[in-house]
Amino acid sequence: MSSKLLIIGACGQIGTELTTKLREIHGTDNVIASDINTRNLDLVNSGPFEIIDAKNFNAIKDCCINHKIDTIYLMAALLSATGEKYPMEAWDLNMNSLFHVLNLAKTGVIKKIFWPSSIAVFGPTTPKTQTPQHTICEPTTVYGITKQVGERWCEYYHEKYGVDVRSIRYPGIISHKAMPGGGTTDYAVEIYHEALKHKSYTCFLSENTSLPMMFMDDAIKATTELMAAPSNHLTIRSSYNLSAISFTPQDIYESIKAHIPEFTITYQPDFRQAIADSWPSSIDDSVARNDWNWQHDFDLDAMTHEMLTNLRNK
Ligand code: AKB
């Protein structure tokens, strides 16, 4: 019998492209996309879609039973910058949605879960470069706290109840389809749009802020490969470090300027600077590389080429 999947938060930046990829792999009718609203009409019209609030346990459970779902990808979350503005809402959404899917797996309604964590689990006391898989995690954002606690619960449910939950600590993700919303790394998407539209960009982080980043195609590849890996190869049930590239706003500016010579940038750091300063600048993902052969494909210039080509064609 083929696997049936539910994606919660399918209209978001990662959910949109993950849904497309999973439909290619598993067949359109085997992948139910869901979100709290129908804001992304292309996605909504691309196959089975349900309106589901990730905080509503019964709505998720009914959907799983009605569609005989065995695997959930829980992509709904409030990110780092929005989480600082709405701390209780971030806690409520990020934690309760995770408990809902963990408990559906614990009680046998579903078999497998993908839940994204983030580099936001790290904080100012974490080693900043080549941050190891196992290290100090003292996050200073609400979002980071929810991801760190979520990781502990994932490992707990795996150890105590045998739940097959798999997770990646995503770095900043850069893509040209759906826009990101409410993150600290969002500048690295906005900059491409502004370079093409206005030939100038005002960056909310300072020029030398180096952060771990990844092109969307690599993030989707990592997610599908981790979910396809044999269970007995996986040594991490909290969340895997994952890395591709690290760059600063100045680096990405120069990469774009090579294609758009008149492009200019100014820097006006805001409250997101403190969040970025608390995160690592590069990540050691050797455990992911060893356990499930993770390898990234895109460096900064290859990503810039893809971003500009696709945005120009829109
Ligand atoms: C954010 O900036 O909040 C996210 C993340 C790194 O998890 N993109």
Query: pLDDT tens for residues 130-185?
Result: 999 999 999 999 999 999 999 999 999 999 999 999 999 999 999 999 999 999 99
Share of the chain above pLDDT 70, in %: 100
The H helix count followed by the E strand count for the chain is 12, 14
Residue 180 Cα to ligand 1 midpoint, Å, equals 9
pLDDT over 70 at 203, yes or no:
yes
- The mean-pLDDT minimum among 39-48, 168-177, 193-202, 271-280 falls in 39-48
For the segment 260-308, what is each residue's pLDDT rounded down to a tens digit? 999 999 999 999 999 999 999 999 999 999 999 999 999 999 999 999 9
Quick one: pLDDT band at residue 314, thresholds 50, 70, 90?
confident
- The yes-or-no answer on residue 143 being catalytic is yes
For residue 14, report the distance from its CA to the centre of ligand 1, in Å. 11
Q: The tokens 């804001």 sit on which residue? A: 39
Centroid of chain to Cα 190? 17
CB-based contact 72:52 (threshold 8 Å)? no
pLDDT at 289: 98
Tokens of 4: 């049936």
Summarised one tens digit per residue, pLDDT across range 99-136 is 999 999 999 999 999 999 999 999 999 999 999 999 99
Q: Please report the pLDDT score of residue 295 as a whole number.
A: 98
CB-based burial label for 184 (10 Å; 0-12, 13-18, 19+): buried
The predicted pLDDT at position 28 comes to 97
Binding-site residues, ligand 1, Cβ < 6 A: 79-80, 118-120, 143, 170, 172, 183-185
- pLDDT-derived band at 2 (thresholds 50, 70, 90) equals confident
Distance 94 CA to ligand 1 centre (A): 13
Q: Which of 32-41, 254-263, 269-278 has the lowest mean pLDDT?
A: 32-41
Tokens of 160: 């105590």
Rounded CA separation 131/174 (Å) = 21
pLDDT higher than threshold 70 for residue 26: yes
pTM of the model: 0.97
* Length of the chain in terms of residues written: 314
Residue 140 Cα to ligand 1 middle (Å) = 13
Amino acid at site 54: A
Dist CA 105 CA 113 (whole Å)? 8
- Select from 86, 137, 143, 189 the residue to mutate for testing ligand 1; criterion: most ligand atoms less than 8 Å from CB: 143
Nearest to 59 by CA among 50, 69, 68: 50
Residues 6+ apart with CB under 8 A from 313: none
- Angle of the 87-106 helix axis to the 142-161 helix axis, nearest 10: 10
**Catalytic residue chosen out of the listed positions 73, 143, 157, 253:** 143
What is each CA distance from 94 to 53, 90, 101, 184, in whole angstroms? Answer: 12, 6, 12, 17
Coil, helix or strand at residue 264: strand
Tell me the best of 79, 85, 169, 282 to mutate to test the pocket of ligand 1, counting ligand atoms within 8 Å of each CB and taking the most: 79
| Residue 249 to residue 265: CA distance in whole angstroms | 9
> Tokens in use for 299?
């460096």
- Is residue 1's pLDDT more than 90? no
Least Cα distance to 100 among 65, 58, 128 occurs for 58
